[in-house]
A = this chain, B = another copy of it.
Amino acid sequence: MTYSELSEQIFQKQSYLCVGLDTDSRKLPPHLLTEADPVFTFNKAIIDATIDFAVAYKPNIAFYEAQGPRGWESLQKTLDYIPKDCFTIADAKRGDIGNTSDLYARTFFDPTAAGLAFDSVTVAPYMGHDSVMPFLAYKGKWVILLALTSNVGSADFQRQIIGDQELFEMVIETAKTWAGPDQLMFVVGATQANELKRIRELAPDNFLLVPGVGTQGGSLADVSRLGLTKTGGLLVNASRSILYASDGTDFADRARAEAKALQLEMAHHLATIS
């Protein structure tokens, strides 16, 4: 999916909601456990319930890997089920030396390898440019690079001062020399709203993927005020607050209600930038 196609989807759906498919096999509604593939059945219901309100879906790869080969099958089926006009993110936080990153890129981008064709993958910056370039070699595919994450541990290294800036700012400035905004997004935690203004100045045209709204406590209003641009420029992720709104037979209805509430607030924020 291109930058302009993603932007169009955002204004058409009046939403920059990304639904995080952190589907934990231990938290599924009990009535689904007799299904042949409970994880896929759950994801299918969540996608159906939220499709009117979401522009992106982000399977969290850890939750599928923890199921072994069966989990990878659930992941494949889930990705195939997501409508093609939605942006898809493999939340994998990968990054390794070149020949290994090349394999990770094949895994998530080349459907002839592991059967997956995501639009994007999240990548960790610690190993530098040659750990990221193999992902960028796939034209039309995106890297979503960790910049300032939502967890408390982000203070350990990301907030350390190098010269006149913090490490996460250096990561953003450096990565901008590797690719344009048509292939590069940054992860910025919603719990880091104080820093969003500086990040938007450093990366005025890049999409920001913002997790941490909902269960982790970030404010959608703050994130939207500081992060939205004329092209949208934001994907705000919610996972647990949607997936586990209920563990009863009404889980999909409750997920839909949660997604709709977020979309309505997003439509309000989008109105302020036009």
Contact = CB atoms under 8 A, between A and B. Distances in A.
A81 interface: no
What is the copy number of this chain in the assembly?
A: 2
Contact of A22 (B100, B127, B156): B100
Contact of A114 (B68, B101, B107, B174): B68
Interface stretch (A7-15, A44-52, A146-154, A194-202): A146-154
A241 interface: no
A273 interface: no
Interface in A145-175: 146, 149-158, 160-163, 167, 170-171, 174
A162 B166 CA distance: 10
A101 B151 CA distance: 12
A221 interface: no
Nearest to A166: B162
A131 B68 CA distance: 21
A119 interface: no
Contact of A72 (B68, B149, B155): B68
